[in-house]
Amino acid sequence: MSEVSACETCGKSKAPLQCGVCQVSLCKKCAQFLEEGSFEFLRRVPQILLHTVYCGPCFDQHVSPELHNYQELMAAAKEIAIFYNDQRRETRLVPRLEDPYSVADCADEREVLMRMAFWAAQAGFNSVIDVEVVAKKNKVPGSQRMIWSGSGLPAQVDFARLPKDKSFWHKPN
């Protein structure tokens, strides 16, 4: 004889889901779902955020603050300044003290830049310098797609002291 579980929140007799943190039974109406790629730009996702189903209290306590922080970092990453390799004349006075970021296997160039910008924002920097983005063809029988990778150095740039190089009209600051 199988045991029928009831929803801990509403008491509904059929509760096929379980909270990933506290393992209580939940019905579909009471469960909080977290999409698969919600924290895709984090280098290492905490174990507690790897579940897809949460009860209300666990979601509010563990997931909601982290999701809010992640969204704030994404907004900050969109404000990060990107300086490519051919703009070295502008960034020649910026100290290069940090280890370079390296991104591989991305769908497009924008994703490569956003990943580096996100990591720079997470570390407290305001720009990524010496950025180099490379595309490589991945030929699979029947189709072909581009795989993007790149590298860059996180840096703290003082924009007031940054010399403006007018010779780069195709990529101005």
- Residue-level pLDDT at 11: 83
* Degrees, nearest 5: CA angle 126-100-110: 65
**For residues 126 and 117, what is the distance between their CA atoms, to the nearest angstrom?**
9
- At 1 the pLDDT is 35
Cβ–Cβ under 8 Å, residues 117 and 69: no
Write down the pTM of the prediction: 0.83
Instruction: Return the pLDDT at 7.
Output: 86
Q: Please list the ranges in the chain whose pLDDT falls under 70.
A: 1-4, 164-173
pLDDT of residue 170: 54
pLDDT reported for residue 3: 56
| Angle (CA) 126 154 173, round 5° | 55
| Cα–Cα–Cα angle for 21, 27, 28, rounded to 5 degrees | 95
Closest to 101 measured CA to CA, from 144, 162, 154: 154
User: What is the pLDDT, as a whole number, of residue 100?
Assistant: 95
Domains identified in the chain and CATH numbers: 17-76 (no CATH), 81-155 (3.30.110)
Quote the CA–CA distance of 34 and 72 in Å, as a whole number.
18
Phi/psi region, residue 163 (left: phi>0; alpha: psi -120 to 50; beta: rest), is beta
